[in-house]
């Protein structure tokens, strides 16, 4: 399927140009969606949700911390998936998606660690501790930075994509370790308050605010990764006819 001429053409040229146009139309809508969800989520989380009886108002950090931590892992999984897809089938657009996602994932990892430190201080009495969950989340940041450095350092686009895919794939082992770290090791970080099987241990307004903020972060991630992917498409396709006709207006 990937060997015939029309298939090859579709994967190597048509896909980036089609993506470029479609993403350009989607981005303003994604920002509008992100803004609407953020306003709703913050209004419920900071305006309506009651104070926690144990933690007081410090718990409100959850509306940023948990969505950011979830995104840091979801984006890594998506990045590794696209990187490996590009490696296996030599689909250039997949590798470009992977590279476009990495900085956004790294940003959410930094945000999860930062908000975790600011939440840890008043609740545990320390900004930082080498607890299993925190350490594995920190390793996730190193994986993102390693992936970005590696793919930027190699000039040949295909070799860069393949080397990055190998790193992303090996690093994906870290995802289940982060997920189950609070179960496997009995350290400082609390277990999850929400699970598909066990229901949730939170007040409804708190849960709703957290889920809406998660959707807002999803919209944000699509918007910013699409913007970056469009830049990457232009950078790697600048000698093609469709980019030339684009810049002629």
Partner 1 sequence: MYWNSFNDFVHMGGYGLYVWGSAGMALLLMLVEPILAAKRHRRALEQAASGDNE
> Footprint of partner 1 on this chain (CB under 8 A)?
46-51, 56-58, 60-61, 64-65, 68, 103-104, 107, 110-111, 114-115, 118-119, 121-122, 220, 223-224, 227-228, 230-232, 234-235, 238-239, 243-244, 246-247
For partner 1, give the closer residue by CB, 103 or 185: 103
Q: How many CA atoms lie within 13 A of 83 on its CB side?
A: 30
For partner 1, give the closer residue by CB, 9 or 245: 245
**Residue 7 CB, nearest approach to partner 1 (Å):** 27
**Residue 136 CB, nearest approach to partner 1 (Å):** 21
**Residue 59 CB, nearest approach to partner 1 (Å):** 9
| Phi, psi (deg, nearest 5) at residue 90 | 55, 40
For partner 1, give the closer residue by CB, 190 or 195: 190
CA–CA dist 181, 185 (Å, integer): 6
Task: Please spell the DSSP secondary structure of 56-102, one letter per residue.
Answer: BGGGGGHHHHHHHHHHHHHHHHHHHHHHHHHHHH--HHHHHHHHHHH
**Residue 4 CB, nearest approach to partner 1 (Å):** 30
The dihedral region occupied by 203, where left means phi > 0, alpha psi between -120 and 50, and beta the remainder, is beta
For partner 1, give the closer residue by CB, 172 or 207: 207
């Amino acid at each position: 399927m990937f060997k015939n001429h029309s298939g090859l053409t579709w994967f190597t040229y048509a896909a980036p140009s089609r993506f470029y146009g479609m993403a350009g139309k989607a981005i303003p809508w994604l920002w509008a969606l992100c803004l609407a969800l953020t306003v709703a989520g913050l209004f419920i989380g900071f305006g309506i949700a009651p104070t926690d009886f144990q933690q007081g108002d410090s718990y409100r950090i959850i509306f940023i911390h948990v969505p950011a931590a979830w995104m840091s892992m979801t984006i890594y999984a998506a990045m590794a998936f696209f990187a490996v897809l590009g490696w296996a089938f030599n689909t250039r657009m997949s590798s470009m998606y992977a590279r476009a996602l990495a900085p956004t994932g790294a940003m959410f990892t930094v945000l999860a660690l930062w908000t975790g430190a600011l939440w840890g201080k008043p609740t545990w009495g320390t900004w930082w501790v080498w607890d299993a969950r925190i350490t594995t989340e920190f390793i996730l940041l190193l994986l993102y930075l390693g992936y970005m450095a590696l793919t930027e350092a190699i000039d040949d686009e295909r070799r860069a994509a393949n080397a990055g895919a190998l790193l992303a794939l090996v690093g994906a082992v870290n995802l289940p370790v982060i997920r189950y770290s609070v179960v496997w090791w009995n350290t400082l970080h609390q277990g999850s308050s929400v699970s598909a099987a066990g229901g949730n241990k939170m007040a409804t307004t708190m849960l709703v605010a957290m889920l809406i903020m998660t959707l807002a972060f999803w919209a944000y991630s699509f918007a910013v990764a699409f913007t970056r992917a469009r830049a990457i498409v232009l950078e790697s396709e600048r000698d093609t006819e469709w980019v030339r006709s684009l810049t002629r207006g």
